[in-house]
């Protein structure tokens, strides 16, 4: 008897475990565009378009490889509206009694499949370097789950940038070389762009009609939608941008949204690129002398370090992890995150870029939007859902730990040993955002003072009991305590007034 083989929109890999376990001569592939997946948060139109277009092309590839593919488009009148509903419909249509599924990357969907009214066998997603069991074994007996030590295990396992049992050039981490401020000029034209073909244009028309009221711009749409295009985008990045990626990976520029970034994370996360192969290509470029060690190591660490570690944390901590709120923050996400007017130029530019590209790099997310949300005491679950909605590469297994844990410290320190907070000085050092801003980054108090300067001390003051004994934050509290009492009172009063204006919906 035939079985169904479910392929999700972020599982577009020919070596997927569910496909490997199936027989193209008898089993039937099920793929579906469903509203339950587009609407559980209001995803960016570009994100929906990327996934639908890549799904349609992957389905065509599977058909060419001999598979019977039952594909449901969003506007199909028989569309059941959910993944489980489509499995049930196709089971009734074909007589199949079992579905093979590669483990989804969200607890939400795992739970739905486990309770589906059709026998469902969930197989491991072995497109990752570390299995759940490997991560759990690494965790056992550790008091602190710091990524750096997990990353070293992944280096040893893969052999990437290793010289025998030692790291290349004698160091595991070259992050100290990767914090240069924004350069005066960027000699990279940006990520490779692709002209939409007929399939992509059909998807764009559908998304425009159905999701045109979602936050973000659908056009221009220039992303890769096949494995071949994604590989070309990777080659373009390695040859043109990777040599300087390390130096400027934390920098931010108003007039250059991409600097030397690859913008391939979405391709990896939906399955068009294999993460280990990507890292091997980068390591080869280093071995050939085309790329410096700080660039190669910094890039590889993002994939076999952070990416794998985030997945490990997500599945280790379980479905309730996304509800974490260790600091008790409850302020609603302000309208400025959805493009509402703000006088803070850094936030305006980060959100403007997010709307236009469904993309912002890690420092824009962590130290601009994330930093502000944390300092302002915004409900971390609302922040989590915003990141999940607006970024093309955001899938809960990777987004939630980055947001709930690293960015918002809502997990109480599982991921980060201290909150990622900063005043305006850091933003000014790493970007040109402060130039022309209505606020002055050099002003600590008074009219026109940078809100980050005020909110930074307000955050430290209101959470003193939690962080006063944190070894990494002692200098901050000593600096605060050395301030004149009147000045401290002024900072708190002005920060509180700012937060009241934010809450009331005033333009800040």
Whether residue 258 is contained in a domain is answered as yes
pLDDT at 175: 87
The residues near 10 (Cβ < 8 Å, ≥ 6 apart) are: 51, 105, 269, 270, 271, 395
Q: CATH no. for residue 346?
A: 1.10.579.10
Region 349-364 average pLDDT: 97
SS3 102: strand
371-424 pLDDT per residue, tens: 999 999 999 999 999 999 999 999 999 999 999 999 999 999 999 999 999 999
- Using DSSP bridges, classify how beta strands 68-72 and 28-32 pair: parallel, antiparallel or unpaired: parallel
Domain-terminating residue out of 88, 106, 123: 123
Query: 508 lies in a domain?
Result: no
Report the alpha-carbon distance of residue 52 to residue 200 in Å, rounded: 9
Residue 221 inside a domain? The answer is: no
Q: What is the pLDDT of residue 391?
A: 98
Whole-number average pLDDT of the chain: 96
Q: Among 271-275, 308-312, 347-351, 468-472, name the one with the lowest average pLDDT.
A: 468-472
Q: Using one digit for the tens of pLDDT, what is the confidence trace for 155-194?
A: 999 999 999 999 999 999 998 888 898 888 899 999 999 9
Q: What percent of the chain clears pLDDT 70, i.e. is strictly above it?
A: 100
CB contact at 8 A, 319 and 393:
no
Shared domain for 23 and 110, answered yes or no, is yes
41 lies in the same domain as 164: no
Residue-range definition of the domain harbouring residue 143 = 132-190+241-317
pLDDT tens across 194-247, in order? Answer: 999 999 999 999 999 999 999 999 999 999 999 999 999 999 999 999 999 999
Question: Do 30 and 115 reside in the same domain of the chain?
Answer: yes
Dump pLDDT digits (tens) for 22-78. Answer: 999 999 999 999 999 999 999 999 999 999 999 999 999 999 999 999 999 999 999
Percent residues over pLDDT 90 in the chain = 97
The model's confidence at residue 312, banded by pLDDT at 50, 70 and 90, is very high
Burial class (CB in 10 A: 0-12, 13-18, 19+), 209: exposed
Asked if residue 108 and residue 76 are part of one domain, the reply reads yes
Tens of pLDDT along 420-442? 999 999 999 999 999 999 999 99
pLDDT of residue 253: 95
DSSP state letters, 103-153: PPS-HHHHHHHHT-SSEEEEEP-TTSSS-HHHHHHHHTT-SS--HHHHHHH
Q: Are residues 88 and 28 in the same domain?
A: yes
Backbone angles phi, psi at 166, to 5 degrees: -110, 150
* Final residue in a domain of this structure, among 123, 151, 169: 123
Q: Is 216 a domain residue?
A: no
Q: Do 117 and 139 belong together in one domain?
A: no
CB half-sphere exposure, 276, CA atoms < 13 A:
10
Q: Are 247 and 180 in contact (CB under 8 A)?
A: yes
Total number of domains constituting the chain: 3
- Beta carbons of 430 and 181 less than 8 angstroms apart: yes
Which of the listed residues 93, 123, 153 is the one where a domain comes to its end?
A: 123
**Do 489 and 409 belong to one domain?**
yes
Which among 30, 35, 40, 33 has a CA at the least distance from the CA of 67? 30
- Model pTM? 0.96
pLDDT for 425: 95
Same domain, yes or no: 455 and 370: yes
User: Residue 118: which pLDDT band, with cuts at 50, 70 and 90?
Assistant: very high
- 247 and 305 together in one domain: yes
Task: Sort strands 166-167 and 162-163 into parallel, antiparallel or unpaired.
Answer: antiparallel
pLDDT of residue 182: 84
Is 180 within the bounds of a domain?
yes
Q: Is 148 within a domain?
A: yes
Same domain? For 245 and 150 the reply is: yes
Q: Are residues 413 and 281 in the same domain?
A: no
The pLDDT of residue 214 is 96
Answer yes or no: do 185 and 292 share one domain: yes
For position 147, which CATH number holds? 1.25.40.80
Whether residue 225 lies inside any domain: the answer is no
Q: What is the CATH number of the domain that holds 85?
A: 3.40.50.620
Q: What is the pLDDT of residues 285-302, one digit of tens each?
A: 999 999 999 999 999 999
In a domain? residue 362: yes
The pLDDT of residue 125: 98
């Amino acid at each position: 008897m035939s079985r169904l083989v479910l392929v999700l929109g972020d599982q577009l890999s020919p070596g997927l475990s569910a496909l490997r376990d199936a027989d193209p001569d008898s089993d039937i592939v099920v793929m579906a565009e469903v509203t339950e997946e587009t609407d559980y948060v209001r995803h960016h139109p570009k994100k929906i378009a990327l996934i639908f277009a890549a799904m349609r092309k992957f389905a065509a590839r599977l058909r060419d490889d001999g598979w019977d593919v039952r594909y449901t488009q969003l506007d199909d009148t028989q569309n059941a509206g959910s993944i489980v509903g489509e499995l049930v419909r196709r089971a009734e249509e074909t007589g199949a009694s079992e579905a093979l599924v590669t483990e989804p990357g969200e607890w939400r969907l795992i739970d739905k499949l486990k309770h589906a009214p059709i026998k469902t066998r969930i197989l491991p997603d072995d497109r990752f370097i570390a299995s759940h069991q490997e991560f759990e074994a690494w965790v056992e007996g550790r008091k602190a789950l710091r990524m750096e030590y997990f990353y070293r295990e992944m280096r040893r396992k893969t052999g990437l940038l290793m010289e025998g049992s030692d790291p290349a050039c004698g160091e595991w981490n070259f992050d100290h070389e990767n914090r240069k401020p924004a350069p005066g000029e960027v000699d990279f034209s940006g990520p490779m762009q692709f002209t939409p073909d007929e399939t992509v244009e059909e998807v764009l028309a559908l998304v425009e009609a159905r999701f045109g009221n979602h936050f973000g711009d659908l056009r221009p749409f220039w992303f890769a939608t096949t494995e071949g295009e994604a590989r070309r985008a990777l080659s373009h990045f390695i040859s043109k941008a990777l040599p300087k990626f390390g130096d400027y990976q934390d920098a931010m520029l108003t007039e250059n949204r991409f600097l030397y970034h690859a913008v391939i994370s979405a391709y990896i996360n939906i399955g068009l690129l294999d993460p280990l192969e990507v890292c091997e290509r980068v390591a080869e470029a280093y071995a050939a002398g085309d790329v410096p060690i700080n660039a190669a190591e910094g890039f590889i660490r993002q994939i076999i370090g952070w990416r794998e570690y985030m997945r490990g944390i997500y599945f280790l901590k379980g479905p309730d992890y996304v509800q974490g709120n260790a600091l008790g923050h409850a302020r609603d996400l302000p309208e400025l995150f959805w493009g509402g007017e703000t006088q803070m130029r850094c936030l305006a530019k980060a959100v403007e870029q997010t709307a236009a590209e469904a993309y912002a790099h890690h420092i824009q997310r962590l130290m601009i939007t994330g930093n502000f949300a944390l300092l302002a005491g915004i409900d971390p679950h609302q922040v989590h859902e915003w990141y999940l909605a607006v970024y093309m590469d955001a899938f809960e297994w990777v987004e939630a730990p980055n947001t709930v844990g690293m960015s918002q410290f809502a997990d109480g320190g599982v991921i980060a040993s201290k909150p990622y907070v900063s005043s305006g000085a850091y933003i000014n050092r790493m970007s040109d955002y402060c130039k022309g801003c209505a606020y002055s980054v050099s002003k600590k108090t008074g009219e026109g003072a940078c809100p980050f300067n005020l909110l930074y001390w307000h955050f430290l003051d209101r959470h003193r009991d939690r962080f006063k004994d944190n070894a990494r934050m002692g200098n901050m509290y000593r600096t605060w305590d050395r301030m004149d009492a009147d000045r401290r009172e002024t900072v708190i009063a002005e920060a509180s007034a700012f937060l009241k204006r934010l809450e009331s919906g005033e333009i800040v």
